[in-house]
Amino acid sequence: DQQVKQNSPSLSVQEGRISILNCDYTNSMFDYFLWYKKYPAEGPTFLISISSIKDKNEDGRFTVFLNKSAKHLSLHIVPSQPGDSAVYFCAASGGNTGKLIFGQGTTLQVKP
Amino acid sequence: ETGVTQTPRHLVMGMTNKKSLKCEQHLGHNAMYWYKQSAKKPLELMFVYNFKEQTENNSVPSRFSPECPNSSHLFLHLHTLQPEDSALYLCASSQGGQAQYQETQYFGPGTRLLVL
């Protein structure tokens, strides 16, 4: 039973355009959500997070949107750059456990 | 050194070998984690330590044995592994404390393990 799902295994976007990565979750107890980026041969790098008390958080080119009623979050990257090409993981946690549940990842390719 | 480091970066071992993975964090954190990432699968949490105490064992087989001698170091001792244990093993750390609430975890580069 996968509690965090990224249904698109890959996404290809032209440089300068918007990249939208999606994530769905099933556990209504989740109250903190994160996006990580991973390059080959490296560990995941934290990108941006959002608490369930918000519906949007922005950091430079990266914006995360949270729709609690739909149990859906998305990461927008605009404008997309070739260096953004990586695997993007969404993750969620709830309560006081600190336990992160990860999605399967979406591979983003930004073409020059 | 900064952040979270892991050694070795690559490891090949036979099923009868005993080896250890090492993780060190230089962030002043109190919680440390082991994750496993198999091909085409999400990261799976294996163990959690908070102030050197193990707080989570995610039904991990006993052939994986964690050790946390202090808040900065975490080991994963491996013995009699199976080929299906081949994966990327990632260490992470976070602030930790009484309530690990809404914490960001910071990851090391991982150890790529191949069991023959």
Give A 35-64 residues with CB within 8 A of chain B. 36, 41-46, 49, 51
Average pLDDT, chain A: 93
Asked whether the beta carbons of residue A41 and residue B102 sit closer than 8 angstroms, the reply is no
> Which of B4, B60, B102 should be substituted to probe chain A, the one whose Cβ sees the most A Cβ atoms within 10 Å?
B102
Classified as helix, coil or strand, B83 is helix
Task: Out of B43, B104, B106, name the one closest to residue A49 (CB).
Answer: B104
- Of A36, A52, A46, A28, nearest to A87 (Cα)? A36
The predicted pLDDT at position B99 comes to 58
- The predicted-structure confidence for A47-86, as pLDDT tens digits, reads as follows 999 999 999 999 999 999 999 999 999 999 999 999 999 9
pLDDT-derived band at A95 (thresholds 50, 70, 90) equals low
Q: Which of B29, B101, B111, B113 to mutate to test the interface with A (most CBs of A within 10 A)?
A: B101
List CB contacts of B61: < 8 A, sequence separation 6 or more.
none
- Cα distance from B88 to chain A (closest Cα, Å)? 9
Q: Chain A within 8 Å of B105 (Cβ-Cβ)?
A: yes
Among A60-74, B57-71, B95-109, top mean pLDDT goes to A60-74
Q: Is the torsion defined by CA of A36, A103, A41, B113 positive or negative?
A: positive
Under the phi-then-psi rule, with left for phi > 0, alpha for psi from -120 to 50, and beta for the rest, what region is B28? left
Regarding beta strands B10-13 and B111-115, do their DSSP bridges make them parallel or antiparallel, or are they unpaired?
parallel
Is the CB of residue B60 less than 8 Å away from at least one CB of chain A?
Answer: no
Distance from CA of B63 to the nearest CA of A (A): 22
B47/B23 Cα distance (integer angstroms): 13
Contact A43 B96 (CB under 8 A): no
Residues shown for chain B: 116
Provide the pLDDT for residue B25: 97
Cross-chain Cβ contact A43/B110 below 8 Å: yes
Shortest Cα distance from B15 to chain A (angstroms)? 24
Q: Measure the N-to-C terminal CA separation of chain A; round to a whole number of Å.
A: 38
